[in-house]
Amino acid sequence: NAAGQLGDGTLDSRTSPVTVLRGEVPEGITFTRVAAGGQHSLALGSDGKVYAWGANEHGQLGDGTTLDRPAPVVVAVGEIPAGVLVTEISAGWEHSTVRGSDGKLYAWGRNGHGQLGDGTTLARTSPVAVASGDVRFVAVACGRFHTLGLDAVGWAHAWGGNFSGQLGDDTLDGRTVPAPLVRGAIP
C-alpha cells in the first residue's frame, strides 16, 4: 500500500481486508467490476464511470494528473465519446485500458512500449482511443508492458512490448497499434 493502492486513505500495509473509502465516488454508487494493476486499482461504478486509486507516476489513474491517490478519484472522460459507456476495465503494471459500449478501447498511463495502442510511446494522464480502425472488441486484458484485445469474431490483437514474444506475432518487435496474433498451430 506504499502508493495507496488499497484505497483506504492510508499508505499502511495491511494483512487483512480493509474497506475502500468512498473518495470521489458519489453516495449510492456501487462497484460492478474491479481490476488491480502493479500499484494501482480500478473500479467500474454502477454510474458507468471508472474510479481509480494508488500510484499515478505515469498517469495510470487517468485523472489528468500524476499525483498518487490513496482514495478513489474519477477517471477523466478524455477521448471517450459522449454517450459511450464503459463496460469493462483492465489494469496493467502502470497503464489502464477500458472497453466502451461502442466496442472501442481507451487507454491511459505508461506508454514507453506502445501499450496504450495509440500509435505513440507518450504517457497519457487521461483516456486516449486505441488506434484499431474498424475492429470492435468484446474483451481486453493488460499485461506489464503490453495489452490484448479480443475482437467480435473471436480473434486476439496485441500491442506494446514484445521482448519475450508476448504479442504472438512471430517476432520480438514491439507495436504501438493493435495487430492480430499469428494463427500458428491454432486451427
Residues 6+ apart with CB under 8 A from 22: 71, 72
Mean pLDDT, the chain, rounded, equals: 96
**Rounded Cα distance, 83 and 124, in Å:** 22
Tens of pLDDT, residues 146-157:
999 999 999 999
Mean pLDDT of 136-140: 98
pLDDT for the residue numbered 49: 95
Please tell me the pTM assigned to this model.
0.96
**Rounded Cα distance, 163 and 99, in Å:** 26
Alpha-carbon torsion angle 181, 102, 116, 149, nearest 10: -20
Specify the amino acid at residue 99.
R
Tens of pLDDT, residues 68-103:
999 999 999 999 999 999 999 999 999 999 999 999
Does pLDDT of 184 surpass 90?
no
Q: What percent of the chain has pLDDT over 70?
A: 99
**What DSSP line would sit under 130-154, residue for residue?**
---TT--EEEEEE-SSEEEEEETTS
Tens of pLDDT, residues 27-47:
999 999 999 999 999 999 999
pLDDT for the residue numbered 51: 98
